[in-house]
Structure formats: C-alpha cells, structure tokens
A and B are shown apart, each in its own frame.
Chain A
Amino acid sequence: MMNPAAIGQPFDRVDGPLKVSGAATYAAEHPLDHQPLVGWIVEATIPAGRIKALETSAAEASAGVVAVLTHRNSPSQVPFGEPDDEGRFTQSRAMLGSDHIRYHGFPVALVIADTLANARHAAGLVEVTCEPADAVTAAGEEADEKPDELDGGLEADITRGDFEQAYSSAEVTLDVTYSTPNQAAAAMEPHATMAVYDGNELWVYTSVQLIGPAVQVLANTLKLNPDRIRVLSPYIGGGFGSKLGLHNEAILACLGAMYLERPVKVVQHRRQVFHNAPHRGNSVQRIRLGASRDGKLQAISHESFMPTARGYAFAEPSGAPARTTYRTDALVSRHRVKTVDMSLIDSCRAPGHAIGSLAFESAIDEMAYRCGQDPVEFRLANMPEKDPGSGKPFSSHDLAECLREGAARFGWGKRQPQGEVRGRQLVGYGVASTIRMNILVKSKTRIRLSADGTLTAWANMTDIGTGTYTILTQVAADLLGLPAERIEIELGDSAYPASCGSGGSFGAGSSGSALRDACLRLREKLVEIARKQESLKDADFDGALFEGGKLVLGSKQVSLTELVRQGGPDYLEADGKVAPGEDRGKYSQHSYGAQFAEVHVDRDTGEVRVQRLLGVFSAGRILNRKTARSQLLGGMVWGVSYALLEELMLDERYGAFMNRDFAEYHLAVNRDIPEVEIHFREQPDMRSNPLGSKGIGELSISGAGAAVANAVYHATGVRVRDFPITLDKLLEQLP
C-alpha cells in the first residue's frame, strides 16, 4: 500500500493542528518559568543626526518601569557594521551603541517595565532632543553607485554582444521606464524576541529565517562567545526576507536581558515593523528592447536604479529576469544604487525577480503589441536555447511548454485582440512568463531511529510557514517506509546541525536532500545489521525495500525496530549532508511558469478587479502537492498586490513611511482574489538536487503581477508604468 506520507502526496501539514489550536509557541509566546519583563522601543523621529539630550527620569519614575536603556547605560557592544569583511547577517547590529541616529524609527531607547501597557506609556515620557543632519531619503534614476555585487552573488553589470549596434539597427524598438514603490515584507507575525541571560549563557527565542547567522550576529554584536548563545525559532509567522537576519528588537531584548539579568521580551509594534525591520527599496527600471519586424528580439537592455541603506550593503538584482528569459543577440544589464538615510533595505519576497518581472514582463508585452503579435506567440518565438546572461546551458527548460499549456487551459484563444466591453466593465487578458533561479545551499542533518520505532531528525532549519516540517516528514517517511506518526522533525534550534535555513526558495530542496542523505546512510546501516542475521542469510538483499516499518528482502522481512535493537541497542544514528556539486557551475538552473489573468476594469471609476488567475508551473519534482500549491497560490496573491495595491508612502521630509499599518498599507484581501487555478508540469531535475525538486516559494510571485498588469492594459489600452496600478492612474484615460 502506498504510504500516504510518500513524497509528492498532498499530505496535511503536520504542524497544522498545533497552529490552529494555538499550541504552537511563536517567539513571543514561549513559556518561561517567570513572566519576562517587557521592552518598548523609543524611535527616532528624524532620518539622520545625533541625540543631543535624552531625559529619562519621568519614564524611570513611571509605574512598573524597571529600566530605561539608552546609549549611556547599555552594555558594551561592537560598533555597528563591524567587522567589515563579514556579510550583513553577521556584522554587528549594535543598538543604543552611540548617539548616532541612522534612520527614522531607529531605536534611541528601550523602556523595560513589568507590563506592555506600562512600558509603552513610559516610552512616551522619554524626552529626546535631536540635532538633525542632512539626510537623503529618496532615490530614483539619479542613482549612480555601482554595487560590489548583487544579492545572490550576481554581477552588477553584464554585457553580451554589442547592444548599441543591435538596438540602433533594430526595426522595432522600445525605450520605457518603469517604477515600483518601496514595499514592506508584511509578515503576519511582527518581529519578536524574548531573551534570557543568566550571566553566562544567552538564550534567545526569536523569529528568524537563518539560525546560524543569528548566533553569529549576536556574538559579533554583544561580544559573546557563540558557544554561549542559543537561538530558538521553532515557529515563524512569515518572514518574506525580512527575517533572514536578526533585527532591532532582538538586539534590544538581549541588551535588556544582559543589563538586568532577567528575561526581557520585545515585540515590535506593527507600526514599528515598518522601520525597525527591513523593507524593499523602490526601483526605477529603464528597459530598451529591439526586435525585427517579425518579432525576434535582438537587443535587450535593463538598467536598474534603487536605494541602498547607509552602512548596510545590499543591492537587489531586479535585472535578473531580463538576463535569462528570452533569446537576444545583445544584452546589457546594469544596476546602480544610491545611498539613503533610510531604514534597512534588504531581500523581500523573491528579491530581483518579483519586481524585475513586473517591469520586464510588462515591457515585453509592450513589445509584442508593437510588433503586432499575440503576447503568448511573441514570447514563444523568443525562447532561448541557452542562458543569454551566463551563456551556460539550462539544466532543464520548460518555459515554452508552460506557456502553451497555460494558454490552452486559460482559453487564451478566446481573447479579443482589442479587449472587450461588457456593460460598464472593460475586460482584458494578460500573460507573463515566470522564472526564478534555483539554488542549493549546503545543509546538514542528523537522524536517530529509536528502538521504539520513532525516527527523529534534527537540523537548525526553519519552517517559516511554508511546510518544512511536513515535507521533511515525507522525505523520511518515504525513504525509510515509516508512517508519518512515527517521525519527529526537530527544527529551529541552534544546537542542531547547521542547515541552509529558509530563504531564496532553497529550503525544501536543500534541507530535504540532506535528510535524504541521512536516511540513505541509515538504510545502509540497517542493511549491514540485517546481513549479519542468520535467518536472513540467503535473503534477496539486492531488492531490499523499506516499507511499513520493515526491511523487506523478497519473501523475507524484518522490522526496523528489531534491527535497531540488534545494532543499537537503543538507537541508530546517521548524519546526512548536501552541498552544491559540479553541476551547479555548469548549468543555469531555474524553475518556470506561465501565468494568466483576466481583469475587469470599471469604466466609471477605474477600479480593477481580478476575475481569474491561472498558472502552470514547472519546478522539478513536487514534494507535496498541497503545500506546493499553497506556496504558488500565496505568490499569486502577492502578485495581485504588487500590480494593484502595495506601496509604502514615503514622506521625504521625514524619511518616514506614512501608512504604517495594515489598514493603510494595502495587501490583497480575500475578496480581491478570484478563483485561482494552479497546474504542475512535474519534471524532476536531477541536476538541481538529489531529490530532483526545485525552488517553488518565490516562483509564482515572479510573474503574477505582470500578468495582471498586462491584462489591465489589454482591457483599457492604458499602460501604467508606475506601480501599483491604482485607479487614479487610469481614471482620466479610460475609453
């Protein structure tokens, strides 16, 4: 009988019941023996400058207050940003380290009290006088600093062929500039940390995607030996990149705990998350395309201009889709940044591809119209044979098939070239190619099969709500032939073997492959033990199968618990690992998809409502059809937000975002999302990783928004190049 938890099965989340019943303890909820004290962050209200005076006596005298931490009394730390040669997730993130204000919202004090209400009220009594300095808060096309490298290790600039020549001799050309706004990661769980310090060891319950770097950043900031730091993050209510590293509240909670030697909890208030956690910077993307009259692309240029936060090196590769999606004779991709005095700018939901595809797939659509071609046909006519950016062959390439299958399923053939009018609604169809780079990250795990038949796996991996606990359960169940109930996956603890963590859609493939490796090694051990058994002497070891808790050798079988008792006697352990192999450098690896949208635009008000979304995706072997679908569904929802809603409103005068809550920072709500259809083209890619899977978490978000935007154009004939497409940008131009 098929194991219901076998790889690929739409197995229910193993942590689902814990989460819906509230039994899963998130960072701020971890039960301690004693109630922790509660810290409230006092934020700077200017974008740059110095603290001139800080009056804390009223706050200190306020009810319930235990301490007010400022740069005058906080424990000694390594200066912000040191050491120079480390990455941004491990460099010192010193808080209250000096009188220097780095950005609007930067913590200038932490008020620690017995209750949240007391801490928050007292925070209002802290009087801060600042000496403002000149600040740069906005960035646009004037950005002219060349970053050392882009996120993911990509080169800032690449040139293939002679763009100027190809562009100037092209029969059809397009030169357009798109812009996307500052965006918040907007995880449901705000950044939260509880720190416990006993004078020797520091225990940190937090919400972080990468555990290893979290230990290191605490060590590097707080001058502690990493061996004395334990970071725990078993459940995470969404990260979307903003929890790759540890952020302000984590450092502050640790400072409080070290200062008082009492447990301190700091939860960022929703309004604080917008400045005290990283966001995505706005982008200006100039795109030039050249093609022959019959629609063959000959020249592609993508120039990206974005902000980078002072002292925090990060540059988003928004040119990524332009580098790999279509064939071309000549290609230029450049990235420039401008240093701003703004809160940290970092990865946010598919860095590069998400906003890159929004602009690039819109521009490709413009070019299709300009060449008088159907947008699907135009894309199909320009499929690359090898990666135009790197020149490498693709490990596999399935974009054309995704487009064809999607068009058929969506009913693209019914599309009226000029759009359609139904009553007061303008109806439009849109399409976008979808690709996202596929990454494998070094990962380790340890497993133990106990004599009672339970298998436990440990890794400092995290589950940020994506389903890691579940798919790891399936990998172990499948490889060892165990029922899911017998498997315990232990994650989110720095005491466990170092894994990849969650980010860049590499989690499932990397941590799953490490676990697979451990299971294979355990299988070898079990077979070795079996070979020594008299009763199995002439069994069929070549056809060995692990099934139903047993090792099946042709007509003979033996239970795994029996083998453990003989070899253990209490348990057997195995270590597994995975690391990028040779294929990594030889091939260009991506997941693919094609997405289609139907929108209705109200002729009177310009309101856009998405009516249908359909995606066909090719992401290697699917590990769990239910969690994979949920990931893709989520990405498509974000895509609707990118196209139509999301925007941090920056008030340049203050370097502050003005819409710092979920009532005014608009994300798609349930009612904005129509019927969504998702189809898989399942094609294991063994060059990707030993499981044959590919990254899925950030796939659909890299194209869904452009499909919606292109449908808006088809419906209205109005091309909005400044995202999001809010009704005011359409209103006066509607037919």
Chain B
Amino acid sequence: MRPFDYQRIGAVEEIGAQASDRASFLAGGTNLVDLMKHEIETPEQLLDISRLDLARIEDGEDGSLQVGTLVTNTALASDARVRQRWPLLSAALLAGATAQLRNRATTGGNLLQRTRCYYFYDTARPCNKRNPGEGCGAFSGHNRIHAILGASEQCIATHPSDMAVAMVALDAGVRLRAPDGSERELPVEELHRLPGDEPQRDTVLAPGELITWVHLPAPPPGRQVYRKVRDRSSYAFALVSVGVILALKDGTVSSVRIAFGGVAHKPWRARKAEAALQGRPATEEAFLKAANAELADAKGYGGNDFKIPLARRTLVAVLRDAAGKTGEARA
C-alpha cells in the first residue's frame, strides 16, 4: 500500500478542495482497500465518508424512495419497502458477493466498484485501464468474464455489479455533490461509460464528486425478475445477469424494462429489446426476436464467445418467467 493521508469526514460540507483526483472516498472499503493493497489504486488522500449521516432510506415524493449512499447492501436488500415494491433490486443485491461482504458494502461503493478483469488485478500484466497506453492483457488472453457489448480495442472489461443492473432497469438516479458544493442528478444508466479510448475512466464522475443519494422512482407496473447466471451458486460474479420488469395486457406486452449485467463496461439497458417487445404478444418467438435485436452487435473475444448465446437464452428464459409461462416464476 502506498502511504497516504487519512481524513475522517463528519459532514459533506467538509469536503472541499482536498477532494481531487489524488483523493479517494472510503466507504465500506471492500473494493478500494483491496485495490490499494495491490497498489492498483494509490490515492494520496483517503477521505473516510463512512461516518456521514447518509445511511438512511427515506420515502420520497410520488411513491419514490431515497437511498443514502452509505446504506449497506444488506440493509437495502432487506428493507420492507424495497422487498415489496422493488423486489428486483432486493434480488439483485442478494445475488451479489457474500453475506459478510454485503454487510459491509455500501450503495455508492457498489455502484463504483471496479472491474474484476484478471489482468487489471495483476500489476505485472499490461492493462489500459490501469496504465493507459500499456495494452490490454485480456484482449488475446483469458476473457471468459469479459464484455460482448460496447467494448473497444482498448478495453473489454465488464462492470461487475448486480445491484446496478436492477437500478438501471428501475430507472434509478444518483444525486452528486461536487467539492464546490454544487449538486447535479444523473440517471444511473448515464453514470457508467463505455471504455472507448479512455478505459481508465469507469464513470462520468468529475474528480471529487460524491454520490450522496440514490433515487428510486415508483416502480413501473409488472412482474420483476432478476436472474444471475454464474459458475457456482454463490460467491461468484455474474457471467450474465438479466433484470426484467414485464407487464402484460391480454397477452400483449404493455410495459417492459430490461437490463443486462456482465456483458459490458456498464450495466446495460437493453432498449432495443424493449422496443422489439413493446405492444407485441408475449410469445417465445417474440422473446427470442427481442433478444436477437439487442445482441445483433454483440462480439466475443474467444473465451467469452459463449456469452452471446448465454445472454440470449437467459433473457428468453427470464421473459418467459416474468410472463408466467414456466409455472415457476422467480422473483
């Protein structure tokens, strides 16, 4: 670990000019501390935000919910309101990591966790995300867990979060506070970015910007289903995950939201698939067409080629479940 200054923050107002690109916020620490030990992240200053008064979940306007950035994954997943009205989010959270990690991990930290690319973690290997311009070890190496959508020659990493997939499907937004005290809001869908030729930038956050709250609008109508496909039944990141909210009227799709995890540098809202389904009869054929529409541009890099059929099959299966056609719908 590179030596650093440590400062505990008591109130957001204390965050000023010291929050720069050389500083990092410490929340649960489950990702950041690991990265610091490996000297993949080497902040000069650690601003410990874990004592801020942002571990609350509050009712918002119009049936929405405001989630403080320090709410733990466990607390958010087990909140009665979330379980009843946003079961997709609860299911996604519970599919992530382990109970111990979820007890520690925070909402903001989960959104901003970094990729699990093997080459990103191995500082002896080239990685454009760690060292721009160095090359990408995964491109012609092991890329079983890598992206099939929206990747670039520079970087084919995925964003590993489950929670963020549900949030993107649920049209959640984040409230941000800049070091100068100004605030802005952003849909979670726009928080993360595609790698392009700046793979070192995971998100659109400006240096020192703090996530304060996550806004969950009232849930759209329909059944919410989250499905995470992984190599073992727990304690594994998603190979592919799918979050769906589907409402039918007389057998026809009246409203649908779809997001994928494990397929791109960001949680992937499947708008093409949604468009292909909207107003169509909820049939196996329509589900397949929708999946194919979304995956038309998908590209594999060898080790992850299988994710293209896997994403297609999983989406069809989840839509089938959500439409109540398997008799054993998961929520």
Contacts and interface: CB of A to CB of B under 8 A. Distances in A.
Interface of A: 43, 45, 63, 117, 120-121, 124, 423-424, 604-607, 609, 644-645, 649, 651, 653-654, 656, 658-661, 663-664, 666, 668-672, 726-728, 731-732
B182 interface: no
Nearest to B306: A728
B232 A668 contact: yes
B21 interface: no
Nearest to B304: A728
**What 7 A-B pairs have minimum CB-CB distances, sorted nearest first?**
A728-B306, A604-B317, A45-B124, A658-B118, A671-B234, A671-B233, A605-B229
Interface in B294-312: 306, 309-310
A120 B1 contact: yes
Given A424-B317, A609-B233, A654-B125, 5 more contacts: A423-B326, A653-B141, A658-B142, A671-B233, A728-B144
A399 B178 CA distance: 71
Contacts of A726: 231
Nearest to A104: B124
29 contacts: A63-B3, A120-B37, A124-B39, A423-B327, A423-B328, A424-B328, A604-B314, A605-B313, A607-B230, A644-B231, A645-B231, A651-B141, A654-B124, A654-B125, A661-B121, A663-B116, A666-B231, A668-B232, A669-B232, A669-B234, A670-B234, A671-B232, A671-B234, A672-B232, A727-B306, A728-B306, A731-B309, A731-B313, A732-B306
Contacts of B197: none
Contacts of B236: 663, 666
Contact of A658 (B39, B141, B235): B141
Contacts of A63: 3
Nearest to A124: B39
Contacts of A728: 144, 306, 310
A451 B237 CA distance: 61
Residue of B119, B141, B326 ringed by the most chain A CB atoms within 10 A: B141
B2 interface: yes
A268 to B, nearest CB: 15
B309 A732 contact: yes
B316 interface: yes
Interface in B1-30: 1-3
Interface of B: 1-3, 37, 39, 116, 118-119, 121-122, 124-125, 137, 141-142, 144, 229-237, 239, 306, 309-310, 313-314, 316-317, 326-328
A654 B118 CA distance: 13
Given A609-B233, A669-B234, A670-B234, A658 B317 contact: no
A160 B150 CA distance: 59
B172 to A, nearest CB: 26
Q: Is chain B's binding surface mostly helix, strand, loop or mixed?
A: loop
Contacts of A117: 1
A121 B141 contact: no
Contact of B142 (A645, A651, A666): A651
Residue of A604, A663, A666 ringed by the most chain B CB atoms within 10 A: A604
Contacts of B314: 604-605
Contacts of B317: 424, 604-605
Contacts of A659: 118, 142
A666 B232 contact: yes
B2 A121 contact: yes
Contacts of A423: 326-328
A666 B233 CA distance: 11
A69 to B, nearest CB: 21
Contacts of A649: 118, 142, 144
Contacts of B327: 423
B142 A727 contact: no
Given A45-B124, A604-B317, A658-B122, A669 B235 contact: yes
A731 B231 contact: no
B115 to A, nearest CB: 12
B263 to A, nearest CB: 14
A248 B157 CA distance: 34
A117 B239 CA distance: 34
Contact of B235 (A654, A663, A727): A663
B229 A727 contact: yes
A672 B116 contact: no
Residue of A43, A659, A668 ringed by the most chain B CB atoms within 10 A: A659
A636 to B, nearest CB: 16
Contacts of B1: 117, 120-121
B95 to A, nearest CB: 11
Contact of A604 (B137, B232, B316): B316
Given A651-B142, A731-B310, A664 B124 contact: no
B36 to A, nearest CB: 10
Given A649-B118, A654-B125, A658-B118, A604 B233 contact: no
Contacts of A121: 1-3, 39
B37 to A, nearest CB: 7
B78 to A, nearest CB: 19
A551 B131 CA distance: 77
A645 B119 CA distance: 21
Contacts of A607: 229-230
Nearest to B117: A658
Contacts of B137: 651
B306 A731 contact: yes
Contacts of B328: 423-424
Contacts of A609: 233
Nearest to A732: B309
A607 B230 CA distance: 8
Contacts of A124: 39
B25 to A, nearest CB: 21
